[in-house]
Amino acid sequence: MNITIIGLGKIGEKLTERLSREKEHNITVIDQNSEVTKSVVNTYDVMGVSGSGASVDTLREAKVEDTDILIAVTGSDELNLLTCLLAKKLGDCKTIARVRNPEYSKEIHHFKEDLGLAMIINPELTAADEIARLLRFPTAVQIDTFAKGRVEILKFKIPSGSPLCDMKLADISQKLSCDVLVCGVERGEEAFIPGGDFVLKEGDFISIVSSIENASQFIKKIGIKTNKVKDCIIVGGGTTAVYLAHRLIKAGISVKIIENNPARCEFLCDILPKATIINGDGTENRLLLEEGIDKAESFVALTGIDEENVLLSLYAKTKTDGKIITKINRIAYEEVIGNLNLDTIIYPKEITAEYIIRFVRAMNNSIGNNIETLHYILDDKAEALEFRIKENSPVINKTVESLNLKSGIIIASINRNGKIITPKGKDIIKVGDTVIIVTINTGYNDIQDILK
């Protein structure tokens, strides 16, 4: 497909990196800063134009009339919306706009309808949704959903004394009587798509794929807490905190927000009457102790400064066994932060990029692609893809064990009319199934791509 990306900030560059990996798209990038544009063009196999996305001349120079999808992710909501409107007039392409202002969120349906937008993405809202999902199942480090919510991939760390320690994957089903499949293991810097002989160790991060019911049974049998948290302390009263508080309060979770700005506190009190709002410096240890950090079941660091969020979370780990979530904006420090033994790290820009890429993959359905869902797992080292099995597919009516799979691939789940099957060797794939595969390879667009 022909894809145009407007705005080469953190999200724009991440999208360029991910989409250029797939080798099947013609990508044009636009940014007002010519040096930034030149840097991205020199780094990735893309075309570049310097200028404003709100300029008709710039859009024409980028050949927007030939574009299939235009993605506007500049730092200005208004510029993104105007760019999408102009692109629709010039080329009638699918348009995606990043819109962050909470005031606009009330009018999202009007924007989509009146401006003809295919998708509106809000980084703060998507981050809040991800955090709320994790607080529903606090032991998980990451949760991804498939099969319209019927299947989940859960990532968690194997604790000391777990029955999974030193257990072969092939023995899990028999010894624990659980219908789950371990589709990935992270051990230090390495990521594995494991076979049955793989032996799990304490401290491994494992990703399991299963129906929601079977996953809950499995987690309980290995002695890990599955209930949602009862309360949450949030440091930082920004937009993400507002979205998150609304979701947690609706779920019956008690919320306390610590915010340094008195005027912001007044605003939070008005829009979140069921939350406890504390005006104070959330980086002060004394205040955190006074507000009960040692008794809190969850703690979320949402200040606007990454370094503060990291230090707050490291301090929280010394005071509570609760779920700790850290928001990080600067993706460039990902490797360093990953070595700090934090609990769960949320990268809003990564989440935003993933949502957009899912849409791009889904749009490919109309030109031969049959991907239903896409998630990046194993610390971004692998993809989990859900394919719909259509007529004439080479995998139809074949057993899983008879498929001649490429290396680095595992068939993780089969959804047959809502019935979730954890695939064994004799299971057969049929027309209409959706099949989840996990792979360390990239660029698969059809189920036949997994075959040698």
Q: Please state at what angle helix 123-136 crosses helix 239-250, rounded to 10 degrees.
A: 40
The CATH class of 141-221 is alpha beta
Per-domain residue ranges for the chain?
A: 2-121, 141-221, 231-321, 370-450
Q: Give the mean pLDDT of 64-92.
A: 92
Question: How confident is the model at residue 231, as a pLDDT?
Answer: 95
Q: Which residues lie across from 151 on neighbouring strands?
A: 146, 211
At residue 244, what are phi and psi to the nearest 5 degrees? -65, -45
Dmax over CA atoms of the chain, in Å, equals: 66
How large is the average pLDDT for residues 265-291?
95
| pLDDT over threshold 80, residue 226 | no
C-alpha separations of 407 from 246, 427, 429 in Å: 45, 20, 20
Same fold, 2-121 and 231-321: yes
What is the predicted pLDDT for the residue at 447?
87
| CATH classification for the domain delimited by 231-321, as one of 3.40.50.150, 3.40.50.720, 3.50.50.60, 3.40.50.2300 | 3.40.50.720
Report the range of poorest mean pLDDT among 131-135, 211-215, 300-304, 414-418.
211-215
pLDDT per residue as tens digits for the range 297-314:
999 999 999 999 999 999
- Taking only the tens place, the pLDDT of each residue in 366-375 is 444 567 777 8
Residue 360 in contact with residue 27, Cβ under 8 Å? no
Mean pLDDT of the chain: 88
Q: What pLDDT is recorded for position 355?
A: 83
- Span 348-357, average pLDDT: 85
HEC states along the chain?
Answer: CEEEEECCCHHHHHHHHHHHHCCCCEEEEEECCHHHHHHHHHHCCCEEEECCCCCHHHHHHCCHHHCCEEEECCCCHHHHHHHHHHHHHHHCCEEEEECCCHHHHCCHHHHHHHHCCCEEECHHHHHHHHHHHHHHCCCCCEEEEEHHHCEEEEEEECCCCCCCCCCEHHHHHHHHCCCCEEEEEEECCEEECCCCCCECCCCCEEEEEEEHHHHHHHHHHCCCCCCCCCEEEEECCCHHHHHHHHHHHHCCCEEEEEECCHHHHHHHHHHCCCCEEEECCCCCHHHHHHCCCCCCCEEEECCCCHHHHHHHHHHHHHHCCCEEEEECCCHHHHHHHHCCCCCEEECHHHHHHHHHHHHHHHHHHHHCCCEEEEEEECCCCEEEEEEECCCCCCCCCCEHHHCCECCCEEEEEEEECCEEECCCCCCECCCCCEEEEEECCCCCCCHHHHEC
Residue 102 has pLDDT above 60, yes or no: yes
Over residues 100-117, mean pLDDT: 74
Q: What is the pTM of this model?
A: 0.75
Average pLDDT of span 152-160: 86
In CATH terms, the fold of domain 2-121 is: Rossmann fold (3.40.50)
Percent of the chain topping pLDDT 90: 51
| Cα 148 from Cα 128, distance rounded (Å) | 20
Beta bridge partners of 421: 414
| Predicted confidence (pLDDT) per residue in 244-269, tens digit | 999 999 989 999 999 999 999 999 99
CA-CA-CA-CA torsion sign (354, 358, 359, 360): positive
Query: Using only C-alpha atoms, what is the Rg of the chain?
Result: 23
Class of CATH domain 370-450: alpha beta
- What pLDDT, on the 0 to 100 scale, is given for residue 137? 80
